[in-house]
Amino acid sequence: MMSLFKNLGKTVKPIPLPAHTMDLPGYVRMPDFIRSYIDHLASKNFSKATMRRYVYDFDSFFQFVAEASGESIQARDITQEAFLEIDGSGIAAYAEYLALTKQNAPSVINRKLSALQSLFRHLIDIGVLSENPVAKINRPKQAKRDPVYLTKREWDELMQLLPSNVEMNAREATHYERDRVRDITLFQLLGYSGMRLSEMTQLTWNAVDFHEGTIRVIGKGNKERVIPLAKPVRVALRKFAAHYSLTMRGPEPIFQKQGKALSPRAVQHILKRHVDRLRPVLPFLERKQITPHKLRHTFATRLATGGVDVLTIQQLLGHESVATTQVYAHIGDREKKRAIELFDSER
């Protein structure tokens, strides 16, 4: 019995991979200490999207190591001891490689460095490292840009043409007939709720309360928030349920395909397909790259221009910090000023 506890954690008995790794391409290629870190993130309720991005960024770093050393390296064979020998000059060389060789944008470079910095911070927390080699690296500066969003007129024009067969051939129109109501509902929900794409694809009928007029959303960090059910969304969901003979209750995802929740990538593809076909008749789509996240911006901007305070917008969007939300207040003020200027010019 004594030896059982003494050797706990040193057993050679194979342990099945954790469930969260099923959707993390590259997880099995990672070194043991990085897989342990990803498992740690999973235990803290980090989203799969975040963990997937970390694995991708760690893989990018090991590719750099292989290129810089000129050796054939299998990431899984790298030991924690060998990894901890890296210093600031090695991280600086990686940042330079990302900028000059890979020509990554500043935002991408900062994201990849942040992934490493988070890993090193974890290694410090567990007592195997004393200093974070990423902390003193000069990061590339990112230009601050206002979020891309649709004005009310642009949104109205888009929603007016979305149900139509404009710019479709006969075959495409026949195919669209099956998905028309679903696609309209997806757009309405994104534009009138401000939900993240991942939140919407996980939404169940049980989370929608038509009597109270609310949607219960599970966001980042497994945090719950409640969003008022806008009338266009209420109407769209009822039509959606009626059209596809759905019961409007239960724990199953609202949007499904072949019995499984519609994936975020599938929704991105659906939106892109409609934006591409409507671009010839809606000129603003030429200069605005509309994605599900841009419709989240559209929702937030509509609130800001309508005079909603920043703290309320923060709560509706599920932002951790109000600083993230502050940009919408800036846009709201600018749009109000422009409206007054137009009013004055008519006098």
Distance of alpha carbon 146 from alpha carbon 116, whole angstroms: 28
253: which strand partners?
204
Domain total of the chain = 2
In a domain, 5, yes or no: no
Q: Which two tokens stand for residue 187?
A: 């757009």
In a domain, 131, yes or no: no
Annotation says 293 is catalytic = yes
Distance of alpha carbon 36 from alpha carbon 30, whole angstroms: 10
Distance of alpha carbon 99 from alpha carbon 62, whole angstroms: 16
Band (pLDDT 50/70/90 cuts) for residue 156 is very high
Annotation says 297 is catalytic = no
pLDDT in tens, 48-69: 888 888 999 999 999 999 998 8
Alpha helices by DSSP H, listed for 80-209, are 80-83, 88-96, 106-125, 152-161, 170-193, 197-201
Collapsing DSSP to helix, strand or coil, 244 comes out as coil
Tokens 């076909």 correspond to what residue? 277
Annotation says 220 is catalytic = yes
Long-range CB contacts (within 8 A, 24+) of 227-235: 227/193, 227/194, 227/195, 227/316, 230/192, 230/193, 232/188, 232/192, 233/188, 233/189, 233/192, 233/193, 234/210
Residue 32, domain CATH: 1.10.150
What φ, ψ does residue 251 adopt, rounded to 5°? -90, 0
Share of the chain above pLDDT 70, in %: 88
In a domain, 59, yes or no: yes
Given the residues 35, 112, 182, 196, select the one marked as catalytic: 196
Same domain, residue pair 157 and 261: yes
Same domain, residue pair 121 and 157: no
Note the pTM of the prediction, 2 decimals.
0.60
Same domain, residue pair 216 and 81: no
pLDDT in tens, 77-120: 999 999 999 998 999 999 999 998 888 888 888 899 999 999 99
Q: Which two tokens stand for residue 45?
A: 């309720």
Whole domain around residue 35: which residue ranges? Answer: 11-125
Q: Could you tell me which of 279, 330, 4, 7 has the C-alpha nearest to residue 144?
A: 330
Task: Give yes or no for residue 11 having a pLDDT over 80.
Answer: no
In a domain, 78, yes or no: yes
Same domain, residue pair 31 and 99: yes
Given the residues 220, 239, 272, 288, select the one marked as catalytic: 220
Q: Which two tokens stand for residue 252?
A: 């199953």
DSSP 8-state class, residue 85:
T
Q: Which two tokens stand for residue 287?
A: 């200069």
Taken in order 97, 101, 106, 109, the sign of the CA dihedral is negative
Same domain, residue pair 91 and 191: no
What φ, ψ does residue 319 adopt, rounded to 5°? -75, 140
Same domain, residue pair 55 and 167: no
Question: Do the Cβ atoms of 255 and 262 come closer than 8 Å?
Answer: yes
Question: Do the Cβ atoms of 305 and 326 come closer than 8 Å?
Answer: no
Given the residues 182, 296, 297, 302, select the one marked as catalytic: 296
On average, the pLDDT of the chain sits at 87
pLDDT number for residue 338:
66
- Terminal CA-CA length for the chain: 91
pLDDT number for residue 264:
93
- CB-based burial of residue 196 (10 Å sphere; 0-12 exposed, 13-18 middle, 19+ buried)? buried
Same domain, residue pair 77 and 169: no
Tokens 């990672």 correspond to what residue? 30
What average pLDDT does range 265-283 have in this prediction?
A: 93
Same domain, residue pair 214 and 265: yes
In a domain, 143, yes or no: no
H or E segment and range at residue 209 = strand 208-209
Distance of alpha carbon 117 from alpha carbon 134, whole angstroms: 5
Same domain, residue pair 159 and 201: yes
Q: Could you tell me which of 313, 279, 283 has the C-alpha nearest to residue 296?
A: 313
In a domain, 144, yes or no: no
In a domain, 4, yes or no: no
Same domain, residue pair 235 and 167: yes
Same domain, residue pair 246 and 206: yes
Same domain, residue pair 104 and 191: no
Tokens 């239960």 correspond to what residue? 250
What average pLDDT does range 331-340 have in this prediction?
A: 68
In a domain, 134, yes or no: no
pLDDT number for residue 3:
55
Annotation says 54 is catalytic = no
Residue 235, domain CATH: 1.10.443.10
